[in-house]
Structure formats: structure tokens, C-alpha cells
Amino acid sequence: MEQINQKVIWNAVSAYFLVLVSLTFLFSKKPYLDHDFVKSHVKSAFVLHALLWIIWFVMSYGFFGWITVLTYSVNTIITALLMLIVFSWILFGMYKAHKWETVTLWEMFHHASSGKKYITKNKSENIQESEAIIMILSHIPFIGYIVWTRNKDVPHMRDVLQLNFIVTLLATCMLIFGYLTLANIIMLAYIIWSVAQWISLITQWTIVSFGLEVFPTVEEKYILQKTTIRYVLNTLNKKVFVPFTHIKEQKTLQRIADEKASEMSMKSPYTYVVKNCLILILLFIACVFYFGWDSPVLILFLFPLSYLIGHSERKAYKMPYIYDIYAAIANTLRGIKHIFSRAKTLKNTTKSESIKIWDTSTEIKKES
């Protein structure tokens, strides 16, 4: 029995450096090969080696290759670090196999995170079927933003949305810069991941979370930007010190109050929707003239458009950054109109004074 165990252990260890040969172990019927312990390590080894090839393939495009640090390109540094991480997982798997212990990729990720749970499995049997459907829809690019804005209270929705946004934006950027194959690979991997999430959610009521909810949303980034600018200006002007959190709270409450006041004073329920759409249309037309109809840059407009549709229930919603452009244009036009009206008033006043002077001089001549 001890001899068989040693052969099983050796086969499990060899899977990590004879990965192609070890795949045949999955179909063997020999007692020291047809073993759950061996098959578990063969699968882990295959995924890790596949990950090495994926890293090599992706980084072969030469991202950031023009940037050098100590004579090494950033591309080389990133590739080396990623390879080092995967190789450390391979060595960790070999160590576990030698100790007659099974290990999954999930356990490797947790081991690499030094005890910090960046990736967690969340199981909730209390989640309703309608909420599960909403979480499934939130994985779909662009559709997810519309769903999330109306269902923010559903657990783990924010984490799913952030992953959706990061992957979709990354794939779009790869497409814009001409890396079509890489963009397809990213989206294919995300689709596979999403399907796995859906199956896990439906069958086991379990969903994987990456801890991305710590990243701010678009509206939170907007408030943080306004807060940072005010905080820096207060510091430079040497005014009374106001804590950053206090300024952030004021900006948040001010935005809420401003939206409520605008909603009460608006004449049409579509006033602010039209204003936001007007700027998006102008920007879209400008990009079409500059980049052309077939440019992938136009895909970027799907992000603010889906975000705007998601917030359509807020009648006085002022879209971050987009409405600021409208406000700047409107203020500029009002300023120009004021200048012309002021100039017209001054012209009429000057003309009136000239008439008075002419009338006075005429009367003096008649009296003389």
C-alpha cells in the first residue's frame, strides 16, 4: 500500500513539469494513475500551464514596450512578474502533492493573497429568484449598468458591475488600439466566466466576489473630484482647515439638494434628459467627423448612454461631466448674450444723450 501511495504521489508531482504527458493520466485505468488525487493535481497543473501560455501570448503584443525602467521595458517587467507568480503556484502545487495533500486553484489564490480575502465565495440561500435574474443580467456589458442603477440594494451587485465595467472598458480599449484578437479573447474569457457564475448562482446559490465594490462608481468619482479640488483650494488659500470627509459630505448633500430643487422648478419632465442627450449627440457628431463612422471609438458612447438610461427615473438627473459641459456652454452663451444686450443698452443710452445734447444746442441757437 505504501508503495502504491508513493507512485501516486510521484505521478501527482510529475503533472506539474510533464503537463502534456500527464493529461493521459486522466484516461488511464492503472491504480496509481486512475486516482482522484492524481487527477486533481493534473487538472490544476494543466490550468496553470495554460495560464503561462496565455500570459506569454497577451504580453507578446508589446504593451508599454516603449517605456523603460533601468534599461528594462515595462512590458518585460510585467511579464516577468506574472510568470513568477504562476511559477510560484506551480511550485506550491508540487509541494502539496509531495505532502499527499490536494489543492485547488481557489486555495492557491487565497494563499497568494497572504490571508486577505480579495476573492471570496458568497452563498446566500435567502436570495430571491427575481434577484438572481437581476444579478445574471448585471453581467451583460452595458445592460448591467441599466439594471444596477435600479437595483442597488441587491447583494454583490456592485462588485459584479465593477468587474463588468473593467472588462468591457479594457476590451474596448484593446479594440480601439487595434488589438482585435486580444479584445476577442478578453470578452470570450469574460463570457465563460459569466456563464460559470450564472450556473453557480442558479444551482448552488453561490457567487464569486472579487472585492471590487471598494472602487468608486462614476457619480462617486465625480463627487471625489469636486471634493479634492475644493480641499486643495482651501489649503492653498490658507483658509480655516476643513477635513476632507466633511467637504465630501457637503458636496454629496449639495448635489442631492440641487437635484431636488431642479426637479421642483422644471417645466417638463424631459428637460434634463434632453440636455444630457444634447451633449452626447454633439460629442458623437464631433467624433464621427474626426474619427469617421467606422471608428471603434464610437463604442465608448455606449457607456454614458447606458448609464443615462439607467438613471432615467431621476427626472432632474444631471449626468456627471456631461451636464457640466452643457452648463459651461449655457453659461458662455448667457455671458455672450449679456455682453451684446449691455452693448445695445449703452448704444441706445449714448444715442439718447446725443439727441438731448442736439436738442439743447438747437434751442440755444434759436434764443440767440
Residue 4 clears pLDDT 50, i.e. is over it: no
pLDDT value, residue 294: 86
Domain residue limits at 37: 1-116
**How many domains is the chain partitioned into structurally?**
2
Query: What confidence tier does 1 reach under pLDDT thresholds 50, 70, 90?
Result: very low
Place of cell 444746442: 361
* One domain for residues 112 and 187: no
Mean pLDDT, rounded, for 59-75: 67
pLDDT value, residue 27: 67
* One domain for residues 90 and 32: yes
pLDDT value, residue 287: 93
Percent of the chain with pLDDT over 90: 10
* One domain for residues 29 and 89: yes
Residue 140 sits at φ, ψ, to 5 deg, of: -75, 125
Q: Collapse the DSSP code of 368 into the 3-class scheme (helix H, G, I; strand E, B; otherwise coil) and give the result.
A: coil
* One domain for residues 161 and 80: no
Higher-confidence residue: 60 or 3? 60
pLDDT value, residue 362: 55
pLDDT value, residue 281: 93
Query: What confidence tier does 303 reach under pLDDT thresholds 50, 70, 90?
Result: very high
Residue 155 clears pLDDT 80, i.e. is over it: no
* One domain for residues 141 and 112: no
Q: Collapse the DSSP code of 102 into the 3-class scheme (helix H, G, I; strand E, B; otherwise coil) and give the result.
A: coil
Q: Which of the residue ranges 95-109, 152-166, 211-225, 231-245 would you say has the lowest mean pLDDT?
A: 95-109
Percent of the chain with pLDDT over 70: 77
* One domain for residues 91 and 191: no
Higher-confidence residue: 236 or 292? 292
- Cell output for 296: 471603434
Please give the Cα distance from 347 to 52 (Å, whole number).
77
261, with CB counted inside 10 A (0-12, 13-18, 19+), is exposed
DSSP string, 156-193: THHHHHHHHHHHHHHHHHHHHTT-HHHHHHHHHHHHHH
Higher-confidence residue: 354 or 145? 145
Beta strands in the chain (DSSP E): 68-69, 72-73, 120-123, 206-209
Query: What confidence tier does 114 reach under pLDDT thresholds 50, 70, 90?
Result: very low
Mean pLDDT, rounded, for 247-260: 86
Residue 136 clears pLDDT 80, i.e. is over it: yes
* One domain for residues 16 and 101: yes
**CA 148, chain centre distance (Å):** 13
Final residue belonging to a domain, choices 180, 215, 250: 215
Residue 131 clears pLDDT 50, i.e. is over it: yes
* One domain for residues 14 and 63: yes
Residue 364 clears pLDDT 60, i.e. is over it: no
Long-range contacts of 21-30 (CB under 8 A, 24+ apart): 22/46
Q: Collapse the DSSP code of 46 into the 3-class scheme (helix H, G, I; strand E, B; otherwise coil) and give the result.
A: helix
The pLDDT tens digits for 225-253 are 888 888 888 777 766 777 888 888 888 88
- Cell output for 279: 451633449
pLDDT value, residue 288: 93
pLDDT value, residue 300: 92
Domain assignment of residue 292, yes or no? no
Residue 192 clears pLDDT 80, i.e. is over it: yes
Domain assignment of residue 149, yes or no? yes
Residue 266 clears pLDDT 70, i.e. is over it: yes
* One domain for residues 64 and 151: no
Domain assignment of residue 231, yes or no? no
Domain assignment of residue 247, yes or no? no
Please give the Cα distance from 145 to 297 (Å, whole number).
19
Residue 32 sits at φ, ψ, to 5 deg, of: -90, 5
Place of cell 474569457: 189
pLDDT value, residue 107: 61
* One domain for residues 94 and 2: yes
Task: Specify the pTM.
Answer: 0.65
Higher-confidence residue: 346 or 193? 193
Final residue belonging to a domain, choices 215, 230, 264: 215
- Cell output for 65: 514596450
Domain assignment of residue 355, yes or no? no
H/E run at residue 259: helix 244-265
Residue 36 clears pLDDT 50, i.e. is over it: yes
pLDDT value, residue 53: 82
* One domain for residues 81 and 21: yes
Please give the Cα distance from 332 to 326 (Å, whole number).
10
Report CA-CA distances (Å) from 59 to 78, 166, 172, 195: 8, 19, 17, 26
Residue 2 clears pLDDT 50, i.e. is over it: no
Higher-confidence residue: 243 or 122? 243
pLDDT value, residue 115: 47
List all residues 6 or more positions away from 167 whose beta carbon is below 8 Å from its beta carbon: 141, 186, 187, 190
Domain assignment of residue 58, yes or no? yes
* One domain for residues 138 and 75: no
Query: What confidence tier does 39 reach under pLDDT thresholds 50, 70, 90?
Result: confident
Domain assignment of residue 296, yes or no? no
Residue 111 clears pLDDT 70, i.e. is over it: no
Final residue belonging to a domain, choices 215, 246, 264: 215
Please give the Cα distance from 277 to 37 (Å, whole number).
59
Domain assignment of residue 47, yes or no? yes
Average model confidence (pLDDT) across the chain: 78
Please give the Cα distance from 202 to 216 (Å, whole number).
28
pLDDT value, residue 3: 46
